[in-house]
Structure 1
Amino acid sequence: MARARQGNGRSVQFRHRMEGLTSRVEGHRHAFGNLTDLFIPEDGRHRHTFQGITTTADGHRHSYSGQTGLNIGFGPNHFHRFRIQTNIADGHRHIICGRTTGLIRLRGQVGHRLIIESIVRESVKK
């Protein structure tokens, strides 16, 4: 996560939002949503770490964590692609993939708990 200080001394964070649906496995899929975490510089470009928990579907949910691909484009409108497998739950795993949004600006401390709690209550069966 990239950080900057505003004139009033408050911390401002720049992250990307990631959201979507997992691959369909055993007749169901899950929704996921999170913000990227750490900023990892790499040869003049960068990537981010991320983690989250899917919504509950078919009586279970999956945790996941990984790294985005390198930035595509530069400046505030750049984005990242991602593709990973979730952890195993109920004997299987799902693929999550997609692209992040452009940069979003957050003030103060923001944790995954806010995002996870808002999506875990939903149920997705498609």
Structure 2
Amino acid sequence: MARIKQGSSGPVQFRHRMEGLTSRVQNHRHSFGNLSDIVIPEDGRHRHTFQGITTTADGHRHSYSGRTGLNIGVGVNHFHRFQIATNIADGHRHIISGRTTGVIRLGVVVGHKLIIESIVRQKV
């Protein structure tokens, strides 16, 4: 997670959403979705680490972790490309690939937990 600025209520975190479908292997695929994590500066640019677990398909799921490519674009409109193989489960692995969303602002974070500032309850 990148700490961009300190507000009166704590650090503001900016990350990227990553989601999609894995490659098809043994006649099935999985969905994946996660947020980017730690920012790694590199030659005036940066990349992020990420990790997650796919949805269950064909009775199993896969974990994955990796690094995005370097940022494409600058400021809040930049994104990253990624392509990695999942860990092996049920004797095989899948490829996850794509591009992140632009930057999303998460708000105040304490440790690794997002603080929900207010909840509005509605009758259904």
TM-score by length of 2: 0.85
Gap runs ≥5 in structure 2: 115-124
The 1:30–1:112 alpha-carbon spacing in structure 2 relative to 1, beyond 3 Å, is farther
TM-aligned CA deviation for residue 108 of structure 1:
2.6
Map of 1:80 onto structure 2: 80
TM-aligned CA deviation for residue 7 of structure 1:
3.4
Map of 1:12 onto structure 2: 12
Map of 1:120 onto structure 2: none
Mapping of 1:1-126 within 5 angstroms? 1-109=1-109
The 1:20–1:84 alpha-carbon spacing in structure 2 relative to 1, beyond 3 Å, is same
With CA pairs under 8 Å and 6+ residues apart, which has the higher RCO, 1 or 2?
Answer: 1
Judge which range, 3-12 or 45-54, deviates more.
3-12
Q: Is the 8 A contact 1:35 1:112 kept in 2?
A: no
TM-aligned CA deviation for residue 4 of structure 1:
3.3
The 1:101–1:112 alpha-carbon spacing in structure 2 relative to 1, beyond 3 Å, is farther
The 1:87–1:112 alpha-carbon spacing in structure 2 relative to 1, beyond 3 Å, is farther
Q: Is the 8 A contact 2:15 2:35 kept in 1?
A: yes
Between structures 1 and 2, the one with greater helix share: 1
Identity %: 80
Output the aligned Cα RMSD.
2.0
Task: Determine which structure has more spread, i.e. the larger CA radius of gyration.
Answer: 2
CA distance in 1, matches of 2:17, 2:32: 11
- Aligned residue pairs, count: 114
TM-aligned CA deviation for residue 82 of structure 1:
0.1
TM-score by length of 1: 0.84
Between structures 1 and 2, the one with greater strand share: 2
Deviations 1:51-93 (A, max 9, x none): 0000000000000000000000101010000000000000000
Amino acid at match of 2:71: N
CA distance in 2, matches of 1:90, 1:105: 37
Map of 1:122 onto structure 2: none
Amino acid at match of 1:47: R
TM-aligned CA deviation for residue 113 of structure 1:
9.4
